[in-house]
Amino acid sequence: MDLQTTIVGLLVAALCIYVFVLLNKSRKNKEKILINQLQMLASEQNALIEDHELGLNFGLGIDEVNRYIFYTKDNKIGFTNKTIDLMNVRKCEVATVKKRVGKEDYIDRISLVFYLISSNKEEQIIIFDSDATALPNGEPLMAKKWADRINELLKDVKSNAAFRVAV
């Protein structure tokens, strides 16, 4: 009886370990696809991804030398890609949209909003959407970090004569 219990226990443990290995492999594969997508966007602008950050289904990348932000999102049926030329951006802000359910406010959407210099238009990059993911998982901090980094870069652009480097 003890031998059967031990064997069943080992099989259940092995099955659990196998599931975690498969999940980790799937996550790594998804990350690789997002990074490749960001690099493809950068190559279209003759730029390089100097730094990137990945969310559950999206990736953000930056080329600080050539002043570009790259965004890609996996929509299950394809990718939504966006390239933002920071030479045309006045400032970047985090926009948080909340919705009320009963007496509680919940985050519905978090996005980076880029205000363009040449017009009153704006570009948005959605970092979190409650329709896709139930709860934020670090996205509020991620959005703030990227907005601060981009605004710091925009200050440098204004104080220095900016130029593009051909790669």
Q: What is the DSSP string of 20-61?
A: HHHHHHHHHHHHHHHHHHHHHHHHHTT----EEEE-SSEEEE
Two structure tokens written together for 1 = 């009886």
Identify the residue with better confidence: 157 or 145. 145
* Parent domain of 135: 2-159
The pLDDT, as a whole number, for residue 57 is: 85
Arithmetic mean of pLDDT over the chain: 83
Tell me, yes or no, whether 164 lies in a domain.
Answer: no
- Please report which confidence band the pLDDT of residue 130 belongs to, taking 50, 70 and 90 as the band edges: confident
Q: Which of 111, 38, 96 is nearest to 69 (CA)?
A: 38
Predicted confidence band at 164 (pLDDT cuts at 50, 70, 90)?
low
Tell me: pLDDT of 10 over 70.
yes
In a domain, 108, yes or no: yes
| Higher local confidence (pLDDT), 21 or 143 | 143
Residue of 63 and 133 predicted with greater confidence: 63
Alpha helices in the chain (DSSP H): 2-44, 139-159
pLDDT band at 145 (very low <50, low <70, confident <90, very high): very high
Give the per-residue pLDDT at 23. 72
pTM: 0.79
Q: Is the pLDDT of residue 167 over 50?
A: no
Percent of the chain scored above 70 by pLDDT? 92
User: Does the structure show a pLDDT above 90 at 114?
Assistant: yes
Does residue 165 form part of some domain?
A: no
Structural domain contains residue 91? yes
Token duo for residue 7? 């064997």
Q: How many domains does the chain have?
A: 1
Residue 48 lies in a domain: yes
